[in-house]
Structure 1
Amino acid sequence: MELGFVGFGEAAFEMASGLNREGIDRFYAYDALLDNPNFSDRIRERASKANVLLLESADEVLKVCSIVIAAVPADKTLEVAQSLAASYKKDLVYVDVSASTPEIKKQVASVVEGRGALFVDAAMLGPLPVYQHRVPISASGSGAGSFIKTMTGYGMQITKISDHPGDASALKLIRSIYMKGIAGLMVEFLEAAKKYGVEEAAISSIDETMNAKTFVKTMNRLVTGSALHAKRRAVELGGSIEMLQESDIDASISIAAQKKLERLAQLDIPEKYKGSKPDTWEEILDLLMEGKEVHHR
């Protein structure tokens, strides 16, 4: 098995470094910035540390390798895949780990598979400097099974989502809605707490509430409870927004949350459920989707 990289930035370097310790003693790579004086030394230094042989072109990497991991910027993913059309070959596994959208991954898969190679949409769900090659990876596409069979023996943590390219990237981007969104919410919450000098008490209160039950149970309670009391909670959040604005604190996350609650209020959950709370978050999502279908008719 010969493993190569198209794009040798931080992600590829960390992955190669970890795999090198697992027993893979030689990798191949190409990076478009290799001849850029601002990046050349850094790329060559990393390649030396990870036992990576730098080649003159991406096409050369594809010719000598059976598995190629494309770690290029998301806005270059399709362009790079198209530029390599003449070098795809039967049984080559082309693994795209970029943060591209599901639609782009489908287009890349079409290019790769159209030439007889196998495609893997690979979504890395953790920081590479921490996990290196053991970063949790969700994979989908025609080559997912082959990728898993070959690389799990070297310690990689890969889970197959489906045979459909784009599914793994969808999972990653959907996860980002929460992970990036909650980070923004935390900043807004902490700014307000710091402004009013109640950060210790506020953090302690949230800690107690959020850790009382599992994430799944807490999520279900918050979604179903908010749907039932959406109108009142939207009004209450208006008070928080007013306070933030009076204190000259950015209230964008709270404003967005208020709009989401107002949308939930339009479902008329108290009337539909006769004042009772729905049992599951799935019920709320079904009602939201029904509302969209009615709107589009």
Structure 2
Amino acid sequence: MIIGFIGFGKVSQNLVKLINSEDIEFITSAENRSYKTIENIKKSNVKVLDSFKDVAIRSDILISANSPKGALGVAKDFGKYTDGIYLDLNNISPDTIFEINKHVGTLVDGAIIGKVDFNPMLYVSGNMSDELLFLREFIETRKVSDEAGDASKLKLFRSVYTKTLSALLMESAEIARNNDLEEEFFDILALTEGDDFKEKSLSRINNTLNNSKRKSEELEEIINYFTKEDLVMVRAALEKLNQ
């Protein structure tokens, strides 16, 4: 089996490590990639082809793991070349998934939940999602439904909570720091939230700061999709990230 990647960021790098099988070959391309991405490809056990079109043609499973704003364009450009499953793992709204489904006949909607480098869980939905359940041998995989878009909905529900919470943590910690009470702030929260609360909170804050552009795009996807919902906190979180 051949698994191809369109894009080779953190998600792709860690999937190569997790799906460890002599029966699976990984391929990608360095076409129009940054120096950093090319270096990451060299460090991974991945065969490099001349173009992403070649990757799409040869893949039994083609994985798109890019940015939310680039997901539809990637699907339009390369989804038409694959006869295999097209697994979209981008943090995008169900509307974007539905649009991708117009261009890719073998789409499976996917969502990686948790830290991709530490025991993550893969949720899949779509009428071909059963064909990916063999991945349970390498990564905990759950089928949501036969409807493409359901995995993305679950991912958005989670993001409503986690990204809004991250923005609140950033602001609370900043206020405490400005008053020279940051250490004490985390200590009193740990009394009710658990001993590892400070460690997890600082990790969440750092991850948010280091990926603020991508997380802002994900919040925009939420706002654009749930137009009939009251998203006061989500909009406030987006404003905080944009600051």
Cα deviation per residue 1:73-128 (whole Å; 9 max; x = unaligned)?
Answer: 21121112112354232xx1110011111100111122212xxxx21111111233
| More strand by percentage | 2
Amino acid paired to 1:88 = T
Task: Tell me if 1:165 matches 2:153.
Answer: no
The answer to whether the 8 A contact 1:94-1:112 is kept is yes
- Are 2:78 and 1:125 aligned? no
- Counterpart CA distance in 2 for 1:196 and 1:119 is 51
Equivalent residue in structure 2 for 1:93, among 85, 88, 91:
85
Q: Deviations over 1:117-174 (max 9, x none)?
A: x21111111233x22xx521111112211111x3222x12211111111211121122
The answer as to 2:140 corresponding to 1:152 is no
Aligned-residue Cα RMSD (Å) equals 2.7
Within 1, Cα distance between the matches of 2:74 and 2:192?
47
Q: In structure 2, do the counterparts of structure 1 residues 169 and 195 end up closer, same or farther at CA, with 3 Å as the change threshold? A: same
Aligned to 2:77: 83
SS of the residue corresponding to residue 86 of structure 2 reads strand
Q: Which residue, out of 58, 61, 69, partners 1:67?
A: 61
The structural deviation recorded for 1:198 is 5.0
Counterpart in the other structure of 2:220: none
Structure 1 segment 256-271 matched on structure 2, within 5 A:
none
Separation of aligned partners in 2, 1:46 and 1:107: 31
**Structure 2 counterpart of 1:47, from 41, 48, 63:** 41
Q: 1:201 to 1:51 in 2, by over 3 A?
A: closer
User: Are 2:123 and 2:151, in contact at CA under 8 Å, matched by a contact in 1?
Assistant: yes
Q: Distance in 2 between matches of 1:144 and 1:17?
A: 22
Letter of the 2:167 counterpart: G
Partner of 2:121: 136
Determine the C-alpha separation between the residues in 2 that align with 1:171 and 1:85: 24
Q: What TM-score do the two structures reach when normalised by structure 1?
A: 0.58
8 A contact 1:25–1:51 mirrored in 2: no
SS for the counterpart of 1:84 is: helix
**Does structure 1 retain, via aligned residues, the 8 Å contact 2:176–2:182?**
yes
Q: Which amino acid aligns with 2:96?
A: I
Greater gyration radius: 1
Conserved 8 A contact 2:8-2:37: yes
Change (3 A) 1:57 1:206: same
Structure 1 segments unaligned to the other structure (5+ residues):
212-251, 258-297
- Select which of 163, 166, 176 maps to 1:180: 163
Counterpart CA distance in 2 for 1:24 and 1:33 is 29
Look up the equivalent residue of 2:51 and give its one-letter code.
S
Residue matched to 1:248: none
Hey, what's the Cα distance between the residues in 2 that align with 1:99 and 1:151?
A: 20
Say if 2:3 is the partner of 1:3.
yes
